[in-house]
């Protein structure tokens, strides 16, 4: 618009910011985006993409071991951490180049500087200032570290992806997505992993059967998983580090990885000065259309702490662009969003947990199946897959699907479409399964699990 340098200025070139800027430009807006690091954000540069590549690498240990049951003899296998990290870095550099080309092809100007708000329409970029009619904040989140003695000895997921060498003994503190995924990665690559979580069970917020199944399977694989374990401090020792536990005792490690959550990346952005409201956790407060308390400023992605998943940030960015520049007011849809944990074995889920369904609906029907994957009838591996459906008996709608096992994310993605369409248990039952697959179990479960007994 007249009087401003840009129609839209985006702070942060992660998944949400890039999608919003490209779509706004496609709607005819003059757009610029700033980024002080590489383009691509947490997911592409230091999150789900490089982590998934490391998950693939770590799974070869199982494949080599399991192959013996199928007649293979594999001798002389060796693993090189530096070669893996170099290959991972090359792929991240390629993806960074892809994002740069996407912005250029869309006509979005990229400013390689940190952006700081000075007022509702002005962003400071190093020594210069630019103005925009609309500003979008898409700065994501950052690892959160507790204030305990010796915390400076710990690394976060950022540094774990860039280690110079594979640690022989690794202590991981945390029990969520990141902690369980890195436990599987380093355990599979040969490290002795101790996972410490202060709660009663890992993966807080997931279905209880999912949590219990994954914990059992991780322990079978050799991860020393300890719950109700609180770290009081970290000391440097001659051989590495010692984690002092409040419950007594210590854990010795060569490396300490903290994965105790992430916080919205809002510090030092000038948000308060620009009149943008933050909540107690430092997240940007937005309405249903991602607009902040300042009418000219919007925010999407993890910085709003709504549903912190990359595809959700992309959806929010697209909805913002359609709302502000496309003439189509669009609310991002946060219902029935599937998610996965690339632990080993993997977890995937969509819809309500059993507990949440009972709280919302009252009585529910639950169908659960645990079985040994067909592959392991010959490999001999002691591993169980768990699948679960939660059904609203009043409507017969399936309101939750949960799985722990190989290819869980690939299977649940398809079921997410079914739940989004309002599929019923009767329709699941009427669907012919593909045999022999694990996925067919979701359409052959007929026996309801007994409801838990009421407590006083």
- In this prediction, residues 142-153 reach a mean pLDDT of 97
Instruction: Based on the fold, state whether residues 375 and 424 are members of the same structural domain.
Output: yes
- pLDDT of 260 strictly over 70: yes
Predicted confidence at residue 440, as pLDDT, reads 98
- 137 and 24 in one domain? yes
State the pLDDT at residue 242.
Answer: 98
For residues 219 and 213, what is the distance between their CA atoms, to the nearest angstrom?
Answer: 10
Q: Are residues 136 and 16 in the same domain?
A: yes
pLDDT tens digit sequence for 418-429: 999 999 999 999
251 within some domain: yes
Distance, CA of 292 to CA of 277 (rounded, Å): 7
Contact between 449 and 432 (Cβ < 8 Å): no
pLDDT for 54 equals 98
| Six token digits for residue 309 | 């998943």
- Write down the pTM of the prediction: 0.96
Peptide bond before residue 436 is cis, with ω within 30 degrees of 0: yes
Per-residue pLDDT at 451 exceeds 90:
no
pLDDT of residue 454: 60
- Is the confidence at residue 22, as pLDDT, over 60? yes
- Please give the positions annotated as active site: 435
81-132 confidence digits (pLDDT tens): 999 999 999 999 999 999 999 999 999 999 999 999 999 999 999 999 999 9
Average pLDDT, the chain: 96
The total number of structural domains in the chain stands at: 3
Assess contact for 405 and 387: CB atoms under 8 A.
yes
Among candidate residues 260, 282, 314, the one where a domain is terminated:
260
CATH code of residue 172: 3.50.50.60
Q: Are 318 and 349 members of one domain?
A: no
Pairing, β 31-34 against β 109-111: parallel
- C-alpha distances in angstroms, 198 versus 176, 193, 227, 232, 327? 11, 16, 6, 11, 48
Q: Which residues contact 84 (CB under 8 A, 6 or more apart)?
A: 54, 57
pLDDT digits (tens, 9 = 90+) for 35-44: 998 999 999 9
Percentage of the residues of the chain whose pLDDT score is greater than 70: 99
Q: Has residue 456 got a pLDDT over 50?
A: no
| Residue 39 lies in domain | 6-142+263-324
Rounded mean pLDDT of 257-266? 97
Question: Sorting pLDDT into bands at 50, 70 and 90, what band is 452?
Answer: confident
Q: How confident is the model at residue 2 (pLDDT cuts 50, 70, 90)?
A: low
Are 246 and 194 part of one and the same domain? yes
CATH value at residue 357: 3.30.390.30
């Amino acid at each position: 618009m007249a009087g401003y340098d840009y129609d839209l200025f985006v702070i942060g070139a992660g998944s949400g910011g890039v999608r919003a800027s490209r779509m706004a430009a496609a709607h005819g807006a003059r757009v610029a985006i700033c980024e002080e690091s590489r383009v691509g954000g947490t997911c592409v540069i230091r999150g789900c993409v490089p982590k998934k590549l490391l998950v693939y690498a770590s799974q070869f240990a199982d494949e080599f071991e399991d192959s013996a049951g199928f007649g293979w003899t594999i001798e002389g296998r060796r693993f090189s951490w530096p070669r893996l990290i170099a290959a991972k870095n090359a792929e991240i550099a390629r993806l960074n180049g892809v994002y740069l080309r996407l912005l250029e092809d869309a006509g979005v100007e990229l400013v390689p500087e940190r952006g700081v708000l000075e007022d509702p329409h002005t962003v400071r970029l190093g020594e210069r200032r630019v103005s925009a009619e609309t500003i979008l904040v898409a700065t994501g989140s950052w690892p959160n570290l507790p204030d305990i003695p010796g915390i400076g000895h710990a690394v976060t997921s950022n540094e774990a992806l860039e280690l110079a060498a594979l640690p022989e003994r690794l202590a991981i503190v945390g029990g969520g997505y990141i902690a369980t995924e890195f436990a599987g990665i380093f355990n599979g690559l040969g490290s002795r992993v101790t996972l410490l979580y202060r709660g009663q069970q890992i993966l807080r917020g997931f279905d209880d059967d999912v949590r219990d199944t994954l914990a059992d399977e991780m322990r079978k694989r050799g991860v020393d998983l300890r719950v109700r374990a609180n770290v009081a401090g970290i000391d440097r020792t001659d051989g590495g580090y010692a984690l002092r536990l409040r419950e007594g005792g210590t854990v010795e490690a060569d490396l300490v990885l903290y994965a105790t959550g992430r916080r919205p990346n809002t510090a030092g952005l000038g948000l308060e000065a620009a009149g943008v409201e933050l909540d107690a956790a430092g997240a940007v407060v937005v309405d249903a259309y991602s607009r902040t308390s300042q009418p000219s400023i919007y925010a999407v992605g993890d910085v709003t702490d709504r549903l912190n998943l990359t595809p959700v940030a992309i959806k929010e960015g697209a909805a913002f662009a359609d709302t502000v520049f496309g003439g189509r007011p669009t609310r991002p849809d946060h219902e029935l969003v599937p998610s996965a944990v690339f632990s080993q074995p993997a977890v995937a889920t969509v819809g309500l947990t059993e507990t949440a369904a009972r709280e919302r609906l009252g009585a529910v029907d639950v169908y659960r199946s645990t079985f040994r994957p067909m592959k392991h009838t010959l490999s001999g591996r002691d591993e169980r897959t768990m699948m679960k459906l939660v059904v609203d008996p009043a409507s017969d709608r399936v309101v939750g699907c949960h799985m722990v096992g190989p290819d869980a994310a690939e299977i649940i993605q398809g079921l997410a479409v079914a739940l989004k369409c309002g599929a019923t248990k009767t329709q699941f039952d009427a669907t012919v399964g593909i045999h022999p697959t694990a996925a067919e179990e979701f359409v052959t479960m007929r026996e309801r699990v007994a409801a838990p007994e009421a407590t006083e």
